[in-house]
């Protein structure tokens, strides 16, 4: 809004502000390995037996497994904008039993009595919803979720973002949660979307970053091009400022204490309509940076200055705009190494009238739009993409892409009956998801038409989280949809598709996952690199373990890990097709030049 | 081809009237390409794209050598039906090459935006063969070269077009990226600094597109245009359009907000107040109208009335930092420093980037002789905005005192 500051009359002191504003060698100790043989046997999926099913990478998990959640967004007739952006999901191990649990958010509003649900995985692979006494059954217009151990006790805390709030829940060492928002110093009276955790100042404590969207005014009515009422877009509302909460290193009565350093860190100077966030080393200096995907505005990349401050450098580094210099509706973020060159690449989803964009890094710290070169504009269909995951779903050693679609503008009267969304209203926004396979020659091939389970049914897809729910070495997906059941898609085992999965933990920090660690593994035939951060995608938090597809590699793998503080260690050789825990200080230190 | 019969029941009457007039021409001269083209344009620009395309196709069938109709037919398929658009755009470019670069440049840009960079390249070159200094074509060739990894070539192109008003920002942004890639850190910083000073590149003129803009009618189209102009600060251009909207649609609350904003920018505060009060009478819950009206009242020293409006806005949108900020200004003007302190603190909580709020809060602390709090506030503000002159001045004051 155009706001002018008037002259003030009561005192000379005040006249100065009368101008415009707004204007390894060691394997982890015995017992750390989670050989997955017993868990694999529990995978009740038959191996593909015919040509058509072999093409399918995923199968929907049976409802008998108990993970039955239906998202609710409340009454949409008021076109309250936060309803249209959906809610996310977290894959995390709340009780540290080695089995991933799933936390699903609701968006029906405060005092709706429609509560978020934590599904705790049981030893038989089924899921049990935690009851209200577990402390997470709260309601609200919840959107994003981040998970990470903020108390260095080995158990992940949960941060929930939403419309005009962020709520932090302390993990009572696997015995439930207690809300600590106020006492921890977390205060985000904004429209929070995606969030993640990181240790940006290398002090051994996880900090938190929240992408905030816009300064929405619910009384503003919007309409589509046909004049009918429609959810507003970000245009017309001031962009919001993200929030960075620094962990003070204090834990008082079990409660971590944070300080809002948004302004001091340099983030307040760059507002933006943030929807996606990802924290990786995007500049090549070894320090974690912050990337925001901004809706209809240039993306922002805050490069860590290693002194507590960040500098916004997205334009210069080539990741703010696409190859044509255009701004897109940037939403979900998929992060990984798509071309196996050891550098983080970034995939961002956009509207169906735009092209999704793949920014490849190279040389280190500089990005270029390689969407066309990778074949991303040759897809079977187009959609408005939200959650996005870059990972090796078929374990062939190459990262693939999965993303979920769901429109933001209703298609009146153009939809059929095969709609997942539970109400006719949301059916007007339903679209099909997409899955792209990396063929290893630099191209991503659209295999959506052959993947009915993930891509067949239209829905209003928003969140997409990845993890290995059944510990079988094949990645699974959890997909959240507006006013529809959450879908769990179990990845298939593939022939000649080996894998290895790691936890990277810090014993000095209570055994928490070392967000920001980088792992390079070497097999007899190839080198692979991955990074540990469960954030990214859209509104979601992923399995914090690092998964590698290894293709037909048969021998053991050696591991070089760069911990988040820059220290390096070698582990291995380690057997493949297993889970390993890399514990800092247990490997062979690498001396750096 | 029969005249199309879409359901126009909920369509803006201005658009319906225009369609009816175009239909009369077609009925009078059913074999007239221009009559069908007019009908097609009217449908297309007013969001009936499929029907527009059909009518424009009829025009092309009747007069295949008229490049304009072919061009419009191609444009009617954009932005998402690119395979359908490309043949028409190519034919139009061939037919109109010597008159204007627009269709060929449009074709090249559509190909490039679709990732068909190699296919785009000869079209950019063709534009330059007829119009050797065309900065948009040079920019396009730079992007093709950059995408192909031909960095040196790309730099040459971008350096050629970095001074054009149509390509300055885009060229400097690309140069900043390429210089960084080449390890020329200083040059990269320099290019980035120039880019930062440019709000937006000027849109290039497409004479054929300009011809059809007047046919885009109705409150949605006009309000969109007015909103864009106001956002870009083109208030002089926006004013007649806003007046036209109010004349045709006197019940659109947002139109009066636009009018109020224009008056505020022109320092016509009583006029702004009138317009914004009208907006609020049409939509009593409009937060934007409340805040803007409050600002217009502040400028007229009607502080108590302004406070009431800001408080109502905050009640409806509690995260609105600007409402808290303006509330603080009004409260401090009335001498209610304690309330103003609270409102400034809320402003900072909601938006720690507003340096003026730190200045205001610190100043109130100084007035109340709470110097420690004032110094703490100034330091906090400087963390957010290290170069803010007001904050620096206040800090200097503390140091002199010390």
Least confident residue range of A233-237, A281-285, A557-561, B302-306: A233-237
CA distance A317 to A346: 12
Each of the 402 residues of chain B gets a pLDDT tens digit; together they read 889 999 888 888 999 999 999 999 999 999 999 999 999 999 999 989 999 999 999 999 999 999 999 999 999 999 878 899 999 999 999 999 888 999 999 999 999 988 888 899 999 999 999 999 999 999 999 999 998 889 999 999 999 999 999 999 999 999 999 999 999 999 999 999 999 899 889 989 999 999 999 999 888 889 989 988 998 889 999 999 999 999 999 999 999 999 999 999 999 999 999 999 999 999 998 888 999 999 999 999 999 999 999 999 998 888 888 899 999 999 999 999 999 999 999 999 888 888 999 999 999 999 999 999 999 999 999 988 888 999 999 999 888 776
The C-alpha angle A382, A387, A389, rounded to 5 degrees, equals 95
The C-alpha of B131 sits at a distance from chain A's nearest C-alpha, in angstroms, of 21
The C-alpha angle B246, B248, B249, rounded to 5 degrees, equals 60
Burial status of residue B370 (CB atoms within 10 A of its CB: 0-12, 13-18, 19 or more): middle
What B332-335 contacts at long range (C-beta under 8 Å, 24+ apart), as own/partner pairs, is B332/A8, B332/A10, B332/A14, B332/B360, B332/B364, B333/A8, B333/A9, B333/A10, B333/B298, B333/B301, B333/B303, B334/B303, B334/B304, B334/B307, B335/A10
pLDDT in tens, A40-98: 333 333 223 333 335 799 999 999 999 999 999 999 988 999 999 999 999 999 999 99
Label residue A512 by pLDDT band (50, 70, 90): very high
Label residue A35 by pLDDT band (50, 70, 90): very low
Quote the pLDDT of residue B1.
84
pLDDT in tens, A364-414: 999 999 888 888 888 899 999 999 999 999 999 999 999 999 999 988 654
* Dihedral sign from CA coordinates of A150, A153, A156, A157: negative
Superfamily of domain B218-401 in CATH is: Tetratricopeptide repeat domain (1.25.40.10)
> For A580-591, what is the HEC assignment?
EEEECCCCEECC
B268 inside 8 A of chain A by CB: no
Inter-chain touch A323–B112, beta carbons under 8 Å: yes
CA distance B165 to A571: 57
CA distance A335 to A533: 10
Quote the pLDDT of residue A10.
32
Q: Per the structure block, which two tokens stand in for B360?
A: 């205001």
> For B54-109, what is the HEC assignment?
HHHHHHHHHCCCCHHHHHHHHHHCCCCCHHHHHHHHHHHHHHHCCCCCHHHHHHHH
Q: Please determine, for residue A502, whether its predicted confidence score (pLDDT) is greater than 90.
A: yes
CA distance A273 to A295: 5
Which of A 257-296 lie inside 8 A of B, CB atoms?
A: 260, 262-264, 268-269, 271
A475 closest CA partner among A407, A395, A575: A395
Label residue A223 by pLDDT band (50, 70, 90): confident
Q: Please determine, for residue A26, whether its predicted confidence score (pLDDT) is greater than 80.
A: no
Q: Per the structure block, which two tokens stand in for B312?
A: 């109502």
Which of A 169-188 lie inside 8 A of B, CB atoms?
A: 187
pLDDT in tens, A242-299: 999 999 999 999 999 999 999 999 999 899 999 999 999 999 999 999 999 999 999 9
Quote the pLDDT of residue B228.
87
CA distance A589 to A25: 9
* 3-state SS class at A474: coil
Inter-chain touch A16–B359, beta carbons under 8 Å: yes
Whether the domain at B13-196 and the domain at B218-401 fall into the same CATH topology:
yes
**What mean pLDDT is predicted for residues A113-123?**
97
For residue B181, which residues of chain A lie inside 8 Å, CB to CB? 318, 363, 366
Q: Return the exposure string of A528-547: e unless at least 16 CB atoms fall within 10 Å of the residue's CB, then b.
A: bbbbbbbbbbbbbbbbbbbb
Place of tokens 């503008």: A409
CA B177 to each of CA A457, B132, B281: distance values in angstroms, whole numbers, following the listed order: 41, 26, 50
User: What is the average pLDDT value for chain A, to the nearest integer?
Assistant: 88
Quote the pLDDT of residue A218.
80
Non-local (6+) Cβ contacts of B200 within 8 A are B169, B232
Quote the pLDDT of residue B317.
82
Task: Compute the radius of gyration of chain A from its Cα atoms.
Answer: 23
Q: Are A484 and A474 in contact (CB under 8 A)?
A: no
Any idea where the domains of chain B sit in the sequence?
13-196, 218-401
Q: Please determine, for residue A416, whether its predicted confidence score (pLDDT) is greater than 90.
A: no
Inter-chain touch A225–B47, beta carbons under 8 Å: yes
A193 closest CA partner among A172, A213, A167: A213
**What mean pLDDT is predicted for residues A510-536?**
94
Which of B 325-364 lie inside 8 A of A, CB atoms?
A: 325-326, 329, 332-333, 335, 349-356, 359-360, 363
For residue A219, which residues of chain B lie inside 8 Å, CB to CB? 283, 285-287, 316-317
Superfamily of domain B13-196 in CATH is: Tetratricopeptide repeat domain (1.25.40.10)
Q: How many CB pairs under 8 A join A and B?
A: 187
Q: Per the structure block, which two tokens stand in for B371?
A: 């110097």
Candidate from B292, B299, B319 with C-beta closest to A6:
B299
**What mean pLDDT is predicted for residues A320-345?**
93
Label residue A592 by pLDDT band (50, 70, 90): low
Quote the pLDDT of residue A572.
85
Which of B 39-98 lie inside 8 A of A, CB atoms?
A: 47, 79-80
Q: Please determine, for residue A582, whether its predicted confidence score (pLDDT) is greater than 60.
A: yes
Quote the pLDDT of residue A96.
97
Quote the pLDDT of residue B389.
94
Q: Mutating which of A219, A225, A351, A384 best tests the B interface, going by the most B Cβ atoms within 10 A?
A: A219
Quote the pLDDT of residue B285.
87
Q: Per the structure block, which two tokens stand in for B394?
A: 């206040």
CA distance A326 to A278: 21
Query: Which run of H or of E encompasses A168?
Result: strand A165-171
Q: Per the structure block, which two tokens stand in for B324?
A: 């808290």
For residue B299, which residues of chain A lie inside 8 Å, CB to CB? 4, 6-7
């Amino acid at each position: 809004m155009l706001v002018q500051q008037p002259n003030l009359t009561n005192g000379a002191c005040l006249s100065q502000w009368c101008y415009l504003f707004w204007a390894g060698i060691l394997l982890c100790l015995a017992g750390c390995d989670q050989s997955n043989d017993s868990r694999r046997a529990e995978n009740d999926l038959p191996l593909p037996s015919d040509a058509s099913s072999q093409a399918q990478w995923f199968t929907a998990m049976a409802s008998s497994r108990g993970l039955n959640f239906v998202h609710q967004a409340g009454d949409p007739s008021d076109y309250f904008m936060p309803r249209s952006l959906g809610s996310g999901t977290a894959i995390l191990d709340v009780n540290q039993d080695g089995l991933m649990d799933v936390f699903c958010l609701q968006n029906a509003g405060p005092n709706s009595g429609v509560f978020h649900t934590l599904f705790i995985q049981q030893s038989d692979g089924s899921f049990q919803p935690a009851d209200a006494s577990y402390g997470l059954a709260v309601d609200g217009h919840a959107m994003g979720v981040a998970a990470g151990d903020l108390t260095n006790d080995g158990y992940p805390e949960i941060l929930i973002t939403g419309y005009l709030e962020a709520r932090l829940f302390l993990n009572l060492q696997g015995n439930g949660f207690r809300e600590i928002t106020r006492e921890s110093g977390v205060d985000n009276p904004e429209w929070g979307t995606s969030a993640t955790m990181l240790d940006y100042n290398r002090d051994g404590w996880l900090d938190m970053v929240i992408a905030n969207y816009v300064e929405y005014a619910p009384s503003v009515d919007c309409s589509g091009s046909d004049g009918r009422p429609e959810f507003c877009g970000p245009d017309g509302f001031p962009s919001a400022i993200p929030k960075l909460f620094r962990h003070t290193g204090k834990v008082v009565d079990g409660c971590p204490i944070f300080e809002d350093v948004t302004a001091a860190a340099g983030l307040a100077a760059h507002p933006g309509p943030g929807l996606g966030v990802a924290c990786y080393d995007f500049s090549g200096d070894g320090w974690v940076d912050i990337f925001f995907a901004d809706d209809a505005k240039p993306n922002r990349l805050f490069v860590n200055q290693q002194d507590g401050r960040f500098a916004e450098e997205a334009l210069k580094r080539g990741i703010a705009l696409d190859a044509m210099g255009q701004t897109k509706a940037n939403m979900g973020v998929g992060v990984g190494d798509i071309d196996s060159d050891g550098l983080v690449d970034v995939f961002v989803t956009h509207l169906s009238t735009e092209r999704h964009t793949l920014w490849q890094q190279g040389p280190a710290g500089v990005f270029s739009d390689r969407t066309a070169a990778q074949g991303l504009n040759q897809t079977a269909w187009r959609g408005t993409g939200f959650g996005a995951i870059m990972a090796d779903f078929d374990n062939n050693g190459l990262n693939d892409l999965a993303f979920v679609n769901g429109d933001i503008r209703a298609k009146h009267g153009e939809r059929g009956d095969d709609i997942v969304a539970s109400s006719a209203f949301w059916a007007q926004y339903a679209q099909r998801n997409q899955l792209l396979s990396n063929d290893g020659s630099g191209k991503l091939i659209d295999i959506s038409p052959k993947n009915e389970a993930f891509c067949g049914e239209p829905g209003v897809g928003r969140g997409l989280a990845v993890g290995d729910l059944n510990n079988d070495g094949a990645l699974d997906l959890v997909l959240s949809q507006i006013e529809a059941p959450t879908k769990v898609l179990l990845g298939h085992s593939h022939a000649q598709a080996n894998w290895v999965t790691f936890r990277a933990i810090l014993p000095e920090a209570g055994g928490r996952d070392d967000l920001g660690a980088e792992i390079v593994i070497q097999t007899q035939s190839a080198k692979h690199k991955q990074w540990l951060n469960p954030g990214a995608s859209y509104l979601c938090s992923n399995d914090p373990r690092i998964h590698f597809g290894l293709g037909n590699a048969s021998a053991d793998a050696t591991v070089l890990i760069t911990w988040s503080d820059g220290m390096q260690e070698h582990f291995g050789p380690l057997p493949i097709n297993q889970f390993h825990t890399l514990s800092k200080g247990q490997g062979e230190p690498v001396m750096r030049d | 081809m029969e005249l199309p019969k879409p359901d126009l029941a909920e369509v803006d009457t201005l658009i319906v009237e225009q369609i009816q007039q175009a239909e009369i021409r077609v009925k009078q001269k059913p074999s007239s390409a221009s009559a069908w083209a007019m009908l097609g344009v009217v449908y297309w620009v007013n969001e009936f794209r499929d029907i527009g395309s059909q009518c424009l196709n009829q025009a092309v069938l009747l007069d295949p050598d008229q490049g304009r109709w072919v061009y419009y037919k191609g444009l009617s398929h954009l932005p998402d039906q690119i395979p359908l658009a490309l043949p028409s755009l190519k034919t139009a470019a061939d037919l109109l090459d010597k008159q204007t670069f627009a269709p060929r440049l449009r074709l090249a840009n559509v190909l490039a935006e679709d990732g068909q960079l190699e296919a785009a390249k000869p079209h950019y070159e063709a534009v330059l063969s007829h119009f050797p200094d065309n900065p948009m074509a040079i920019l396009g060739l730079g992007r093709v070269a950059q995408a192909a990894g031909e960095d040196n070539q790309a730099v040459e192109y971008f350096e050629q077009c970095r001074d054009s008003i149509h390509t300055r920002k885009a060229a400097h942004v690309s140069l900043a990226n390429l210089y960084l890639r080449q390890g020329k850190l200083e040059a990269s910083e320099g290019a980035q600094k120039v880019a930062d000073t440019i709000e937006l590149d000027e849109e290039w003129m497409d004479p054929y597109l300009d011809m059809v803009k007047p046919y885009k009618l109705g409150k949605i189209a006009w309000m969109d245009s007015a909103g864009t102009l106001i956002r870009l600060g083109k208030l002089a251009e926006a004013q007649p359009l806003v007046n036209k909207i109010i004349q045709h649609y006197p019940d659109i609350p947002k139109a009066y907000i636009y009018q109020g904003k224009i008056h505020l920018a022109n320092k016509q505060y009583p006029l702004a107040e009138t317009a914004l009060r009208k907006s609020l009478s049409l939509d009593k819950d409009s937060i934007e109208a409340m805040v803007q009206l409050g600002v217009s009242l502040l400028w007229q020293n009607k502080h108590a009335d302004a406070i009431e409006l800001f408080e109502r806005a905050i009640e409806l949108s509690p995260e609105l930092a600007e409402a808290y900020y303006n509330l603080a200004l009004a409260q401090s003007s009335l001498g209610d420093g304690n309330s103003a302190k609270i409102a400034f603190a809320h402003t900072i909580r909601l938006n720690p980037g507003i340096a003026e709020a730190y200045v205001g809060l610190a100043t109130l602390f100084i007035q109340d002789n709470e110097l420690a709090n004032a110094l703490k506030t100034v330091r906090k503000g400087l963390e957010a905005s290290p170069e803010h002159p007001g904050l620096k001045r206040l800090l200097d004051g503390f140091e002199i005192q010390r």
